[in-house]
Chain A
Amino acid sequence: MRIWVPLDSAAKALGADAVAEALAREAKARGMDVQIIRNGSRGMVWLEPLVEVDVGEGRVGYGPVTPADVPALLDGRMNSLGPVEDLDWMRRQTRLTFARCGVIDPLDLDDYAALGGLVGLRRAIGLDSAAIVAEVTASGLRGRGGAGFPTGIKWKTVAEARADQKYIVCNADEGDSGTFADRMIMEGDPFTLIEGMAIAGLGVGATRGYVYMRSEYPVAIEVLERAVVIARQRGMLGADVLGSGRAFDMQVRVGAGAYVCGEETSLLNSLEGKRGTVRAKPPLPALEGFLGKPTVVNNVISLATIPVIFERGAQHYADFGLGRSRGTVTLQIAGNVRRGGLFETAFGMSLGEVVNDIGGGTLSGRPVKAVQVGGPLGAYMPVSKFDTAMGYEDFDAAGGLIGHAGLVVFDDSADMLQMARFAMEFCAIESCGKCTPCRIGAVRGVETIDRIAAGDPNAAALLSDLCETMKDGSLCALGGFTPYPVMSALTQFPDDFATLKEAAE
Chain B
Amino acid sequence: MQSTAPAPLPEEIRDVIAPLTGLEGPLLPMLHAIQEVWGHVPQAAVPVLADVLNLGRAEVHGVISFYHDFRDHPTGRHVLKICRAEACQSVGGTAVAQETLARLGVDWHGTTADGAVTVEPVYCLGLCACGPAAMIDGRVLGRVDAARLAAELEAAS
B96 at interface by CB-CB < 8 Å: no
Q: List A contacts of B70 (CB < 8 A).
A: 256
Are B86 and A419 in contact (CB-based, < 8 A)? yes
Q: Please report the C-alpha to C-alpha distance between residue A274 and residue B55 in the assembled complex, in whole angstroms.
A: 11
Are A273 and B90 in contact (CB-based, < 8 A)? no
Minimum distance in angstroms from B48 CB to a CB of chain A: 15
With known contacts A257-B67, A335-B131, A273–B26 Cβ distance under 8 A: yes
A271 at interface by CB-CB < 8 Å: yes
Are A216 and B25 in contact (CB-based, < 8 A)? no
A381 at interface by CB-CB < 8 Å: no
Chain B at the A interface: mostly helix, strand, loop or mixed?
loop
Are B29 and A414 in contact (CB-based, < 8 A)? no
A469 at interface by CB-CB < 8 Å: no
Interface string of B22-41 (1 = CB under 8 A from A): 01111111011000000000
With known contacts A275-B62, A414-B90, A14–B67 Cβ distance under 8 A: no
B87 at interface by CB-CB < 8 Å: yes
With known contacts A12-B140, A274-B63, A336-B91, A215–B69 Cβ distance under 8 A: yes
Within 8 A of A (CB), among B60-115: 62-63, 66-70, 85-91
B126 at interface by CB-CB < 8 Å: yes
Within 8 A of A (CB), among B122-157: 122-131, 133, 135, 138-143
Within 8 A of B (CB), among A256-307: 256-259, 270-277, 290-291
Q: List B contacts of A218 (CB < 8 A).
A: 138, 140
Q: Closest B residue to A43 by CB, please name it.
A: B129
Which residue of B28, B91, B127, B130 is within 8 Å of A253 (Cβ)?
B28
Q: List B contacts of A10 (CB < 8 A).
A: 126-127, 129-130, 142
Q: List B contacts of A161 (CB < 8 A).
A: none
Q: Closest B residue to A429 by CB, please name it.
A: B123
Which residue of A12, A275, A335, A422 is within 8 Å of B128 (Cβ)?
A335
Q: List A contacts of B131 (CB < 8 A).
A: 334-335
Are A256 and B69 in contact (CB-based, < 8 A)? yes
Are A177 and B142 in contact (CB-based, < 8 A)? no
Are A179 and B63 in contact (CB-based, < 8 A)? no
Q: List A contacts of B91 (CB < 8 A).
A: 335-336, 363-364
Which residue of A216, A255, A337 is within 8 Å of B129 (Cβ)?
A337
Are B129 and A333 in contact (CB-based, < 8 A)? yes
Interface string of A324-338 (1 = CB under 8 A from B): 000000001111110
Minimum distance in angstroms from A257 CB to a CB of chain B: 4
A340 at interface by CB-CB < 8 Å: yes
Are B128 and A332 in contact (CB-based, < 8 A)? yes
Which residue of A14, A406, A426 is within 8 Å of B142 (Cβ)?
A14
Q: Please report the C-alpha to C-alpha distance between residue A10 and residue B142 in the assembled complex, in whole angstroms.
A: 7
Q: List B contacts of A276 (CB < 8 A).
A: 66-67
Q: List A contacts of B85 (CB < 8 A).
A: 177-178, 376, 426
Q: List B contacts of A363 (CB < 8 A).
A: 91
Q: Closest B residue to A410 by CB, please name it.
A: B90
With known contacts A256-B70, A363-B91, A408-B90, A273–B129 Cβ distance under 8 A: no
Q: List A contacts of B28 (CB < 8 A).
A: 253-256, 270-271, 273
A409 at interface by CB-CB < 8 Å: yes
Are A183 and B129 in contact (CB-based, < 8 A)? no
Q: List A contacts of B88 (CB < 8 A).
A: 177
With known contacts A257-B67, A271-B25, A340-B130, A177–B87 Cβ distance under 8 A: yes
Using CB atoms and an 8 Å cutoff, list the residues of chain A in contact with chain B.
9-10, 12-14, 45-46, 48, 174-180, 182-183, 208, 215-219, 251, 253-259, 270-277, 290-291, 332-337, 340-341, 363-364, 372, 376, 406, 408-411, 414, 419, 422, 426, 429-430, 432
Could you list 17 further interchain pairs (A-B, Cβ under 8 angstroms) beyond the known A177-B88, A271-B25?
A: A10-B127, A13-B143, A14-B143, A45-B130, A46-B129, A175-B124, A176-B124, A183-B126, A216-B126, A253-B25, A257-B122, A258-B66, A273-B26, A290-B24, A340-B128, A408-B90, A426-B123
Listed A/B pairs (11) with beta-carbon separation below 8 Å: A9-B127, A9-B140, A10-B127, A215-B32, A256-B67, A276-B66, A335-B128, A406-B128, A414-B90, A419-B89, A426-B123
